[in-house]
Amino acid sequence: MIILDGKQGGGQMLRTALALSALTQKPFRMINIRSTRANPGLAPQHLTCVRALKTLCDAKTDGDEIGSQELLFIPSKFKAKNHTIDIGTAGSVTLLLQSLLLPSLFAPKPFTLKIIGGTNVSHSVPVDNFSNTILPYYRLAGGVETRLIKRGYYPRGGGEIEIAFTPEINRNNFDRFDDFIKLVSHKGFILTEKGNLAAIKGISHASDNISPRKVSERQASSAQQALSSLNVPVDITSEYRETLSTGSGISIWSAFEKDIEPKPRIGADILGEPTQTSEQVGQKAAKLLFERLQNEAPIDEHIADNLIPLIGVLRPSKIKIPHFTDHIMTNMEVCKAFLGDVYRQEENIIMTNSPI
């Protein structure tokens, strides 16, 4: 039984543990879940992750209730079945996907999930950046495609996405996890150089009730103007959608001239706020992307955080990150509990060793 102490970590620890438990079929117990937070224990967002994986791998659980600071999770083999997951709040759909991606990519057959919640909310990667800067790396493991049905802003959420998985390797065919790891080792990758910037792409979005104010267009225009100094094509589309809550934001990401797969990707995003003009929102997004592009790393810190479990499974792999964050360090520690001491560090480079 793997024992994890959640005292120093947040929901990230739980999401990564659930993903790797479902994939490795190793049970775990987490104690002191978010015990130092103002609202300790499992929140609705975290409980949704637990119950989604419980359904998808017939897990036995104890402590899966709001406010619980201890959770027991004993998975069985992963099942591939179409399923709708409603977070019930504006909780982030992309944070939920951190617990679902890896096991779903090695499911017995293709299947589709519909997830309802927040698609563009604070403290999480928006669905646009997720689809364009994170999923391309996970496609090395198996087929996965997303479709945005409806946007969901804070506080009511109500956004909807569909994510379809087309697995290439069935984890359930292997009684020993080590045998599975050896089979997928050819999918490991190296991502340490950036190459020349070729273009900037993105999407500026807003709820349709504020379309008369041209919010989306103004965000996009100000970002494009601010990024013009990079001397590459900048293509930021504008859109409006019917939403439950008023909101807006902009997501942008880079394309590089690098003849490798996976290609380098760096992104940035800003949500609109009542205290900021649309022009300020676009300018802030451009400034953030420009700052991240100055780093030699071929990915940003949010992509790096999401790649830690992936390179622990697809190994040997090597990635260069902009800097170490608490989330990256926490993810590595949780992954080691399930995968063993597979990570090595050299300055800002993280490597995983080859399966024996």
Domain parsing of the chain, residue ranges: 1-76, 81-173, 196-293
196-293 has which CATH code? 3.30.360.20
Q: Are strands 196-207 and 248-257 parallel, antiparallel or unpaired?
A: antiparallel
Nearest CA to 158 out of 168, 169, 150, 166 is that of: 150
Nearest CA to 99 out of 123, 73, 60 is that of: 73
pTM metric for this prediction: 0.94
Per-residue pLDDT of the chain (356 residues; tens, 9 = 90+): 999 998 877 788 999 999 999 999 999 999 999 888 888 889 899 999 999 999 999 999 999 999 999 999 999 999 999 999 999 989 999 999 999 999 999 999 999 999 999 999 999 999 999 999 999 999 999 999 999 999 999 999 999 999 999 999 999 999 999 999 999 988 999 999 998 999 999 999 999 999 999 999 999 999 999 999 999 999 999 999 999 999 999 999 999 987 677 889 999 999 999 999 999 999 999 999 999 999 999 999 999 999 999 999 999 999 999 999 988 999 999 999 999 999 999 999 999 998 86
Distance of CA 99 to the CA centre of its chain: 9
Burial 140-172 (b: 16+ CB within 10 A, else e): bbbebebebeebbbbeebbbbbebebebeeebb
* CA separation for the pair 320, 343 (Å, rounded): 13
Give the three-class secondary structure for 248.
Answer: strand
81-173 domain in CATH 1.10.1760.20?
A: no
Residue type, 251: S
* CA separation for the pair 312, 341 (Å, rounded): 10
Instruction: Write down the residue that tokens 């942008």 correspond to.
Output: 252
- Just list the catalytic residues: 327
Q: Is 202 in contact with 133 (CB distance < 8 Å)?
A: no
Q: Which secondary-structure segment (H or E) carries 320?
A: strand 317-320
Residue 130 is encoded by which pair of tokens? 């997720």
Pick the CATH number of 1-76 from 3.30.110.150, 2.70.70.10, 3.40.50.300, 3.30.930.10: 3.30.110.150
